[in-house]
Amino acid sequence: MIKRLLETDKKLVLKFAVSLFLTILFAFVLVGARSYAASAPDDTSVSAPADDTSSNGDETSNPDDVNSESLPHGDDYLGTPDEIVGRDPGSSLLQEIVGVDASQPLEIIILLTLIALLPSMLIMMTCFARIVIVLGFLRSAMQTQNTPPNMVLTGLALFLTIFIMAPVFAEINEVAYQPYANEEITTAEALEKASVPLKRFMLKQTTNDDLEFFVNIAKMEVPEGGMTEEYKENELSLTVIIPSFMIGELKRAFQMGFMIFLPFLIIDIVVGSTLMSMGMMMLPPAMISMPFKILVFVLADGWNLMIGSIVSSYNL
């Protein structure tokens, strides 16, 4: 299997090998830096100078008799608070969130894995997936091969996602990030407050059937009155809402893709029937129909119609 993969797609294997090597190298560098910092000598010891002998030579000062009050406190270290001076060097924001203090190789690998998966998680929790799938269906229906290229479609989907999610991001910034930046709430409270606007957005796009499907799989109890809005926002966790939202996005994307294919399919049928009636059976119909598809799409102002349909498909 590996030999066949090497023969078919050597570039993919090479990219994977380089990424794996860089990840392992980065992990060992972090571990080495951590070990060096832990074994470095502590130069913060405080020595008290001995007092000069008095003029009569009867009294001398003992350098060991240093008052504890003369030792520098947290505020003496460049204005650093006491709680930061005595903090474990392994403690950090990541340790508070995910319990990883970057002191063990396994924890570093877990941290790097979370960083690699974070963009995918954010993409699947927004409207990016539906937009990029619909744009992919449009390109396939027009049979324009790699035009527009993948980079253009991905960039368009990304900026449309920012446009649609702008109210949600603004609410997260107002209720979670700004209070956290001003040290008014803790990290756990900020994460909890930030999840509320995202949860509300995903619930607006998710049907009750999808929610009930995953609720039944999770074996959760549903109230007698059904899943009300209050129950969905307060009782359902993100582990149930996110997969329900993803399934709903895929359903809507394929439904929109089917509707996109219909007018272009009619053009293919008309062109194919015309070529058959003219006896041109050896001429590929796609070669003739593609210019007509592009012409119809441009004359109908297809891009505005497409973007408008995508944006209006969200219940904002």
Q: Which residue has the higher pLDDT, 281 or 198?
A: 198
pLDDT of residue 26: 66
pLDDT tier at 45, thresholds 50, 70, 90: very low
pLDDT tens digits along 243-285 = 999 999 999 999 999 999 999 999 988 888 888 888 877 778 7
pLDDT of residue 29: 65
Q: Which long-range contacts (CB under 8 A, 24 or more apart) does 30-34 make?
A: 30/102, 30/108, 31/105, 31/108, 34/102, 34/103
On average, the pLDDT of the chain sits at 76
pLDDT of residue 157: 92
Find, among 206, 210, 212, 196, the residue nearest to 130 by Cα.
Answer: 206
Find, among 196, 121, 189, 130, the residue nearest to 158 by Cα.
Answer: 130
Could you give the CA distance from residue 239 to residue 242 in angstroms, rounded to a whole number? Answer: 6
First to last CA, the chain: 48
Could you give the CA distance from residue 291 to residue 294 in angstroms, rounded to a whole number? Answer: 5
Work out the percent of the chain whose per-residue pLDDT is above 90: 21
User: Could you tell me the pTM of the whole model?
Assistant: 0.64
CB-based contacts of 234, cutoff 8 Å, min separation 6:
none
pLDDT tens digits along 89-144 = 444 555 555 555 555 676 677 777 878 887 887 788 889 999 999 999 999 998 88
Distances 23 to 16, 20, 34, 105, 212 between C-alpha atoms, Å: 11, 5, 17, 11, 40
pLDDT of residue 247: 92
* Mean pLDDT confidence for 209-236: 81
pLDDT tens digits along 132-189 = 999 999 999 988 888 889 999 999 999 999 999 999 999 999 998 888 888 888 888 8
Is the distance from CB of 294 to CB of 141 less than 8 angstroms?
no
Find, among 105, 135, 128, 100, the residue nearest to 115 by Cα.
Answer: 100
pLDDT tens digits along 4-29 = 655 666 676 677 776 767 677 666 66
